[in-house]
Chain A
Amino acid sequence: AQSVSQHNHHVILSEAASLELGCNYSYGGTVNLFWYVQYPGQHLQLLLKYFSGDPLVKGIKGFEAEFIKSKFSFNLRKPSVQWSDTAEYFCAVSPWANNLFFGTGTRLTVIP
């Protein structure tokens, strides 16, 4: 079945540690890729997106993601996390217009 997979359910890091969250998808063809963040009690905010071009995408708040087509992956990274990055992170795939499917989310807890 077509899906979006986030293998890390809960990640706990100390401040200043580096972050990498995995995302894999199984949709064929050209897809648009997104990472969203949901801070506690808040709505979804777009961190970054990839449509085409440079597979290394830079987003807000120091986040970046790399699209590796051969691996069907779009992993999120941040070199040094802060306590304020504590949130739920969602990878999402749009395999065609007007469709956006989410992964199960990864909860990130950053310990001061």
Chain B
Amino acid sequence: DTAVSQTPKYLVTQMGNDKSIKCEQNLGHDTMYWYKQDSKKFLKIMFSYNNKELIINETVPNRFSPKSPDKAHLNLHINSLELGDSAVYFCASSADRGDGYTFGSGTRLTVV
């Protein structure tokens, strides 16, 4: 029973393609997030969704768009992939108290 699950685990694609990464949480949490971890292991928040509304949007290119069909899902869609998008993307969720953040196992995206 994985609390936060992401698919796929690995994704290799060519430049210019459009791809999506899916995330689902079964914790009943109110907020979900996407983080990007670059090759230097730095974790940067990209988006968060609370009750289906975007509440954080850092300086992320508009080629990236989060889509939340319901409270338990937050998918990440990426258009026109670039080499620099290669990274590990982590989904996370938290309750509104902000007292705990649970992370998915990550999706390693490689753009060739």
Contacts and interface: CB of A to CB of B under 8 A. Distances in A.
Nearest to B91: A43
Contacts of B50: 98
Contacts, number: 60
Contacts of A34: 101
Contacts of B31: 98
Interface residues of B, number: 27
A97 B41 contact: no
A32 B99 contact: yes
Given A42-B105, A90-B43, A99 B56 contact: yes
Contact of B103 (A43, A96, A101, A107): A43
A43 B43 contact: no
Contacts of B33: 100
Interface in A57-112: 88, 90, 92, 94, 96-102, 104-105, 107
DSSP majority for the A interface? Answer: strand
A49 B99 CA distance: 8
B109 to A, nearest CB: 15
Given A43-B106, A44-B90, A97 B97 contact: yes
Contacts of B105: 42-43
Given A88-B41, A107-B41, A98 B103 contact: no
B58 to A, nearest CB: 10
Interface of A: 32, 34, 36, 38, 42-46, 49, 51, 88, 90, 92, 94, 96-102, 104-105, 107
Given A42-B105, A100-B45, A102-B42, 14 more contacts: A32-B99, A34-B101, A43-B105, A44-B43, A44-B90, A46-B100, A46-B102, A51-B99, A90-B43, A97-B96, A97-B98, A104-B41, A104-B42, A105-B43
